Each structure stands twice: as structure tokens, then as C-alpha cells.
């Protein structure tokens, strides 16, 4: 036990801009998900967690309060704090790494179109492929499932092609499905880049997560048979519902 406390006490919560209680809530949530704190078990008392983590009692209480609000923990007077359930079922949005997988819609997901506008070009983009179109139809979209937002995205569609797409497609098709359905387009090249980041003020509000919570930034680009960049999409996913699966040879 002494070795565990010594190891955990080396955690430096000051290295991150994320509030200490949020960092600890993440740590404690992982213990529940992994079974280190099994369902039905009593977790260490506050004084033990204070000694282990090197923070104030109030910070520990805040962290436990987050998990209590999520329904993972329950505190009982004169008895202690107990694990009610695991949180692993929240991890449901697989980030596909192949084209066919990207065409698949999320079961039960709803796409809300927040804004649609014409723009003259793209912002800075990581994929240097294809020639930009003269203008794009920019779609700001929020993706929801079970009354919870999990993705906020900007989708840029070649404006000339966007005029030929039924408006219903803007709220029913994923970005890659939309690209595959563009009239007269044969996809010659497509790229995807994922970057782990933290939520800024705008993303935190849109995804209903704390400021600086973990998120995944995803850029996608699609080039047609004529070498034109016909669709580009930038999405921010909640980090607590996304899993990346990559098939290795």
C-alpha cells in the first residue's frame, strides 16, 4: 500500500490547465471503468484520497461530486461512498479508419443544421491535396444521440455541387456519405487526420463538456476525379464517447 501511495503522490496536477477537481474526477472515473473500484464497493475515505493525491479536502469533494452527479457514486452519511455503476457504456462512438466505415451512420444519431452559408475558401487545412473550388457551402452541424451532443462540425461542400444536393441530405447524411452522394463525383483521394486536444470555450459550450475537457479534432478531405477538393470537414468529438479502432496488417 505504501508503494502505491508513493507512486500516486508523484502525480503533478499543476502541469495541466485543467482544474484539479476535473483531473481527479477523470482519474477516479477511470478507476471505476477499469474495475479498480468495483461496482458495489466502498471507495477510500476522503482523508485517504487527500493523502494519496496531495490536494485539499474540498477538491476531493468536488471531484467525487462530479461522479455522483453522473450517477457513478453515492455517498451515505456515516457509511461512506460507494460505486453504483461503471461508466464504460458511455464509450460508443467508434472512429472508423476505413472508407466504408466512414459511410456508416451512427445508430440513433440526429444531425442538427445550425447554419448554412456561402464562403469563398477554406481555413488553414492539414491536407494539401486537390485544387480548392471557387466557393463552398459551409454547413455548421451538431450531432446528437440520446439527447447528448457528441460532435460539432463544419462541412464545406463545393458550392456548385451543393446546389444539386437535396437539402434533406444536409441533416441526414454524414460528411463522407454526403461526399459519396455528390452528383457526377468519383472519389479519387480521401484523407482523415485525428488530433487529440482540449475543449475551448466554444467547443465546451457546444458539446456540453467542461472547459479543457479532452476532445478529438478530425479533419477530412475528399478529392474528385478532376483533382478538385469537393468536400472538407472539420469536426470536434467529445473525448468521453469516442474510441479509435485501427486494423493492423
d(CA 223, CA 191) in angstroms, rounded, equals 9
Domain that holds residue 49: 2-89
29-83 pLDDT, tens digit per residue, is 889 888 899 999 999 999 999 999 999 999 999 999 989 988 899 999 889 999 9
Please give the distance of CA 18 from its chain centroid, rounded to a whole number: 17
Is the domain of 124 the same as that of 184? yes
d(CA 214, CA 194) in angstroms, rounded, equals 13
d(CA 142, CA 152) in angstroms, rounded, equals 5
Is the domain of 117 the same as that of 193? yes
pLDDT at 104: 60
99-123 pLDDT, tens digit per residue, is 555 556 567 789 999 999 999 989 9
Is the domain of 77 the same as that of 105? no
Of 89, 110, 138, at which residue does a domain stop?
89
DSSP state of 43: P
189-227 pLDDT, tens digit per residue, is 999 999 988 889 899 899 988 777 888 999 999 999 999
At 196, list the grid cell.
487529440
Rounded to 5 degrees, φ, ψ at 198 are -125, 150
Of 70, 89, 108, at which residue does a domain stop?
89
In a domain, 81, yes or no: yes
pLDDT at 109: 86
In a domain, 77, yes or no: yes
Spatial contact of 60 and 43, defined as CB atoms under 8 Å apart: no
Torsion of the alpha carbons at 34, 198, 127 and 133, rounded to the nearest 10: 120
Q: Which one has a higher pLDDT value, 240 or 47? A: 47
In a domain, 198, yes or no: yes
In a domain, 249, yes or no: no
d(CA 82, CA 31) in angstroms, rounded, equals 13
Mean pLDDT of 235-239: 91
Q: Whole-prediction pTM value?
A: 0.70
- CATH code assigned at 138: 3.40.1410.10
Number of domains, the chain: 2
3-state SS string over 171-222?
HCCCHHHHHHCCCCCCEEEEEEEEEEEECCHHHHHHHCCCCCCEEEEEEEEE
Amino acid at each position: 500500500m505504501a508503494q502505491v501511495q508513493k507512486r500516486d503522490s508523484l502525480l503533478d496536477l499543476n502541469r495541466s490547465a485543467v482544474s484539479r477537481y476535473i483531473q481527479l474526477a477523470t482519474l477516479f472515473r477511470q478507476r471505476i471503468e477499469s474495475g479498480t473500484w468495483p461496482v458495489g464497493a466502498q471507495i477510500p475515505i476522503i482523508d485517504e484520497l487527500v493523502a494519496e493525491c496531495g490536494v485539499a479536502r474540498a477538491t476531493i469533494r468536488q471531484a467525487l461530486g462530479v461522479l455522483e452527479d453522473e450517477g457513478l457514486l453515492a455517498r451515505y452519511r456515516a457509511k461512506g461512498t460507494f460505486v453504483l455503476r461503471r461508466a464504460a457504456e458511455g464509450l460508443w462512438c467508434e472512429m472508423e479508419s476505413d472508407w466504408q466505415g466512414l459511410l456508416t451512420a451512427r445508430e440513433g444519431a440526429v444531425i442538427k443544421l445550425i447554419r448554412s452559408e456561402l464562403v469563398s475558401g477554406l481555413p488553414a487545412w492539414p491536407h494539401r491535396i486537390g485544387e480548392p473550388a471557387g466557393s463552398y457551402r459551409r454547413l455548421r452541424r451538431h450531432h446528437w444521440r440520446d439527447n447528448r451532443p457528441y460532435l460539432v462540425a463544419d462541412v464545406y461542400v463545393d458550392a456548385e455541387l451543393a446546389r444539386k444536393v437535396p437539402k434533406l441530405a444536409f441533416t441526414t447524411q454524414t460528411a463522407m456519405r454526403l461526399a459519396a452522394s455528390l452528383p457526377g463525383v468519383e472519389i479519387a483521394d480521401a484523407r482523415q487526420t485525428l488530433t487529440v486536444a482540449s475543449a475551448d470555450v466554444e467547443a465546451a459550450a457546444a458539446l456540453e463538456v467542461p472547459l479543457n475537457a479532452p476532445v478529438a479534432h478530425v479533419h477530412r478531405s475528399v478529392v474528385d476525379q478532376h483533382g478538385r477538393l469537393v468536400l472538407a470537414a472539420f469536426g470536434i468529438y467529445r473525448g468521453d464517447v469516442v474510441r479509435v479502432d485501427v486494423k493492423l496488417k
